Amino acid sequence: MSDEILVKTEHLKKYFPVRKSGGGKAFVKAVDDVTLEIGRGETVGLVGESGSGKTTIAKMILGLLPPTENTIYIDGKNVWDRKNTKEIRKKVGAVFQDPASSLNPRSTVYRSLERPLLINGCSKGEAETLIRETAAKVNLGKELLERFPYELSGGQQQRVSIARAIMLRPRLLVLDEPTSALDVSVQAQTLNELLNLQQEYGMSYLFITHNLSVVRYMSDRICVMYGGKVMESGKMADVYENCVHPYTFGLMSSVPPLHPRQRDRKKYLLTGDMPSLIDAPEGCRFCTRCKFRQPVCESQEPAMKDMGDGHFAACHFAGEIEF
């Protein structure tokens, strides 16, 4: 694995067995053949709606859910190989969506921050130094260290969450909707702090969200998922300005605009709901809702088309459609 790549996974799959109502077994193909790379110091935005598989991928990277097929490599080491567990643990941190349920209500902030250090070999003294240092870096006042989560605001709770995640100075931070539950002004503060921390510690971020404006602000590259598969991926600017996949376009035009001027933008509204992941269509995952579908879309799954400069799209007609 090249020196520049921190996280790599190829043809990753996660299938959940489920019993069909008529009897017999079927699989929910939550993640179906996903190839993903995250470079050092880079932020990759993982975008998709509920059921797209983005959270499942995060769980596999974090060691919470074992993959069905293939695996994930961090710094060249297999995440799911038992002998690497201790080492990998120090390299990955996670921040979740709901600040309130991210912290143990029975632990003070200090204890919550101390735990990851103590488990991973730090002495109490070393831990104290690290905690004070990290708290300062995330703008968490000293007086908050002895408080309980319920005494803190949502923004403060999220800061504690972030502090805890970076306690072991990880190389990769997985953020799953970290600011979705926060107010606009608090979100701005949190995002800025995340950017500062990234610069200071050289971390890579896997930023999972459905909020396209936030992902545009934070990401270097973006990966758009739907129904367990990657629809389009590439540099943020490329995908944002020249998206080629109908789903990406649908997603972008569905996102509420940043200014009333854009109200009359060309909209491509997606009808219907995401199809069940149990009886996934034969061809393209998206074809049941795609305005531009052709017979080939229903029978054949599209291969990843290389649009140049790291921009890929899984569509038979990528680059040919006029939006």
Residues 88-117 that bind another protein (CB under 8 A): 89, 92-94, 96-98, 101-106, 112, 115-116
Q: Which is nearer to another protein, 129 or 153 (CB)?
A: 153
Q: Which is nearer to another protein, 12 or 61 (CB)?
A: 61
Binding range to another protein, per CB under 8 A, among 9-17, 127-135, 260-268, 307-315: 260-268
Q: At what angle do helices 154-166 and 184-201 cross, to 10 degrees?
A: 20
Answer for which of 1, 18, 119, 296 binds another protein (CB under 8 A) is: 119
Q: Which is nearer to another protein, 37 or 177 (CB)?
A: 177
What's the closest the beta carbon of residue 286 comes to another protein, in angstroms? 11
Instruction: Report if residue 227 touches another protein, rule: CB under 8 A.
Output: no
Residues 11-30 that bind another protein (CB under 8 A): none
Strands 72-74 and 5-19: what pairing?
antiparallel
How is residue 233 annotated by DSSP? E
- According to DSSP, the residues that pair with 92 across neighbouring strands are 172
Q: Which is nearer to another protein, 134 or 161 (CB)?
A: 161
Answer for which of 16, 39, 49, 144 binds another protein (CB under 8 A) is: 49
Instruction: Report if residue 77 touches another protein, rule: CB under 8 A.
Output: no
**Which tokens in the block code for residue 222?**
């973006």
Phi, psi of 73 (to 5 degrees): -115, 130
Closest CA to 162 of 97, 72, 252, 236: 97
Size of the site for another protein (CB under 8 A): 71
The alpha carbons of the chain give a radius of gyration, in whole angstroms, of 21
What's the closest the beta carbon of residue 216 comes to another protein, in angstroms? 6
Instruction: Report if residue 218 touches another protein, rule: CB under 8 A.
Output: yes
Binding range to another protein, per CB under 8 A, among 13-21, 82-90, 278-286, 293-301: 82-90
Q: What angle do CA 29, 11, 17 make, to 5 degrees?
A: 25
What's the closest the beta carbon of residue 72 comes to another protein, in angstroms? 14
Q: Which is nearer to another protein, 2 or 185 (CB)?
A: 185
- CA torsion sign, 121 to 126 to 127 to 133? negative
| CB within 8 Å of 12: residues ≥ 6 apart | 31, 33, 34, 35, 36, 57, 60, 67, 69, 70, 71, 72
Q: In what order do the strands lie in the sheet with 77-78?
A: 25-39, 5-19, 72-74, 77-78
What's the closest the beta carbon of residue 183 comes to another protein, in angstroms? 4
What's the closest the beta carbon of residue 159 comes to another protein, in angstroms? 13
Answer for which of 78, 123, 129, 192 binds another protein (CB under 8 A) is: 192
How is residue 86 annotated by DSSP? H
Phi, psi of 128 (to 5 degrees): -60, -45
What's the closest the beta carbon of residue 283 comes to another protein, in angstroms? 20
Instruction: List the x/- string, 283-322, binding to another protein by CB under 8 A.
Output: ----------------------------------------
Residues 123-142 that bind another protein (CB under 8 A): none
Answer for which of 120, 242, 299, 300 binds another protein (CB under 8 A) is: 120
Q: Which residue has the tokens 């007609």?
A: 317
What's the closest the beta carbon of residue 103 comes to another protein, in angstroms? 5
Phi, psi of 30 (to 5 degrees): -65, -40
Closest CA to 195 of 169, 213, 222, 173: 173
Identity (one letter) of the amino acid at 296?
V
